[in-house]
Structure 1
């Protein structure tokens, strides 16, 4: 069947886009093996071609290739994992049973950060300054979908103290780390999001999140 819109991709291409969205997973389990440098470059290309408010391109990437540095990142994550568990109260033990990162196993680790001097960018941010963060999230999502299409797993780790991580990576004042990305080969992709499989949470029905001309449910 030919798509009705003249500028649409072919039906097979459209199906592929929706498939990669549906099958993308936040991966925590990896098997050993380096990531092909050409593939990694394509993933970074995808990230860098994300939309950004005011075309500010606020993303910066730090590839972690030093084993000792990767271990220090893992220690930072473990410190915050314990603090997060304590903050969860009655769900502390349940949270501590979850696998929240794959830093030691992943073939590649990339830290994604907001650049410094973001205050210069006023276009689109005068009343919503957090749009720099939204732009970086778009870059990470591009990378995530590209990784899934390439058959690689990717996990977004956000459990860390951003000031400690910024200092560890010699980031300039004003820069702020947003994500530690674990990228690598996997035995299989989870059939559902891991936190759903672990019964931590469930996907909300779309119709409860959608309103027409007013807030949903109002």
Structure 2
């Protein structure tokens, strides 16, 4: 698929059919994620892949309250056969920038204008979303509620120095209604692009 087509066709898919995803496709998605930029080539990310039905069920049990999952949005999303959780590691960036070629031996977080560990991991997630589209599949990026992160960590043995920035659900698209959010329409370039001054 042409790159411009990938960009234009990419959207959040909230309804999946339960057909499995070819493992080779999942590997391509992950391989492309590894090509995301990272400050200082720190690569302070990790990706938890849940591609077995029992693991996917464990994820939903750990990250949602028992009464959740009855609405159509949740039901469609829960049918995704693969979940990939991108996790960022601040420690990897602070360690990397304490090395001699960077020289920030104090590991002071205030040197960072923004948390690049989250940004870089987010860019890796975007490469996943684009690859999913290129493969003719669908995906949705969504977050784990903050109050459920401890349960998620405990269920999957996620180290404390890795924080989930979201989840990429992926699989074969099933017919779904377009999100009500899309009614807002995409903002025009002249509303968000500023040249020379704001």
- TM-score, normalised with respect to structure 2: 0.78
What is residue 176 of structure 1 aligned with on the other side? Answer: 163
Displacement over 4 Å in runs of 4+: 100-103
Aligned to 2:50: 64
* Matching residue of 1:208: 191
Q: 1:38 to 1:165 in 2, by over 3 A?
A: same
**Relative to 1, partners in 2 of residues 1:18 and 1:80: Cα closer, same or farther, differing over 3 Å?**
farther
Unaligned runs of 5+ in 1: 1-12, 83-95
Contact 1:114 1:136 in 2 (8 A): yes
Equivalent residue, structure 2, for 1:146: 131
Structure 1 residue 110: Cα displacement: 1.4
**Greater displacement, 159-168 / 205-214:** 159-168
Map residues 103-182 of structure 1 onto 2, 5 A cutoff.
103-115=77-89, 117-118=91-92, 119-122=94-97, 126-161=111-146, 162-182=149-169
Shift of 1:172: 1.5
**1:154/1:111 Cα in 2 relative to 1: closer, same or farther (>3 Å)?**
same
- Cα distance in 2 between the residues matched to 1:195 and 1:132: 32
Q: Distance in 1 between matches of 2:165 and 2:23?
A: 23
Do 1:166 and 1:175's aligned partners in 2 also have CA atoms closer than 8 Å? Answer: no
> What does residue range 52-91 of structure 1 map to in structure 2 within 5 Å?
52-79=38-65
Q: RMSD value over aligned CA atoms?
A: 2.9
Residue 128 of structure 1: how far off its partner (Å):
2.4
Distance in 2 of aligned mates of 1:134 and 1:210: 21
- Whole-Å separation in 2 of the counterparts to 1:174 and 1:159: 17
